[in-house]
Amino acid sequence: MNEKPLKIKEISNIPILDGTNYGYWKMRMKIYLRSGDLLDICEKFRTNEASTSSSNWWTKASFDSINVVTSRITERVFREIINSETIKNSHLLWSKTSEQYASQRAVNRGRVWMNWQRCFFDGNLQNYVDNFRKLMMELDAVSIVIPNELLSYLLLGKLGGNPHLSQFVETLIFNEDIIEKPLEYYPDPRIFPATKVIVATLKIKRRPAPQLSSLNMTNRIRSSSTVVKENTTDDALHIKKRSVG
């Protein structure tokens, strides 16, 4: 048992749960609770077979956990998850929060999917990557599984609305190998800056595939009619057409 006081000053690193960011909030909250030996208090059901000292420690730790969790939620979320039982039992509170925002109910899955649909490329590649990472956590939290091919189309499609990227997107979207196995055909995102959108967001476990040699990769790049350059000052991508001799 760890009776060290919590490092409350670090709690500001945890985002505020507003009902739309549960996946990301849960990851950050678990890291924080684990650092104070409080995660088990939230995730495991307490048995009655405990000594008085253990029981006293559990009660104190449970209240500490409740204090942490409720300090990083909005007023609306507070009203939805707090009742006469959850206010005094961290395990019940943790379970209630998960049930409310991560269950596979239509309202949760619909909310997450609509957030996904509303996310578009705003001209800043890094923001785009960061937003998709968060959204994929939300999709995972409500068990929405998107096939690799469809996910690639969705990611590239949202880039296609930008006139500077349309030609590049078309080059990728009609390449069957890239669409089906993006991680295998672009192992180094520095070669094609825009492909780091795919590489950074697709965290898919697959069987190891042979890496392309430097020569093969170079030939693939040279065969494309599109050259992509990255402006290091503002992360914007500029496409310059060239003819292939």
Instruction: Assign 240 to helix, strand or coil.
Output: strand
Alpha-carbon distance of 197 to 128, in angstroms, equals: 8
Domain ranges of the chain: 8-102, 107-241
Best mean pLDDT range from 6-20, 57-71, 138-152: 57-71
pLDDT per residue over 31-44, tens digit each? 999 999 999 999 98
Q: For the chain, what is the mean pLDDT?
A: 70
Which has the higher per-residue pLDDT, 141 or 76? 76
Q: DSSP label at 230?
A: E
Tokens describing residue 171: 């080059």
pLDDT over threshold 70, residue 191? no
List the beta bridge partners of residue 17.
73
Strand partners, 227: 240
pTM of the model: 0.53
Unique residue bearing structure tokens 């006081």 = 5
pLDDT tier at 91, thresholds 50, 70, 90: very high
Q: Which residue has the tokens 């520095």?
A: 190
Q: How far is the C-alpha of 93 from the C-alpha of 89, rounded, in Å?
A: 6
Q: Given a cut of 70, is residue 181 above it in pLDDT?
A: no
DSSP 239: E
The tally of CA atoms less than 13 A away on the side-chain side of residue 144 is 22
- Between 37 and 180, residue with greater pLDDT: 37
d(CA 64, CA 66): 5
Provide the pLDDT for residue 204. Answer: 36
Q: Tens digits of per-residue pLDDT, 6-31?
A: 454 578 889 999 988 888 899 899 99
Find the mean pLDDT for residues 54-64. Answer: 89
pLDDT band with cut points at 50, 70 and 90 for residue 166: low
CB 214 within 8 A of CB 188: no
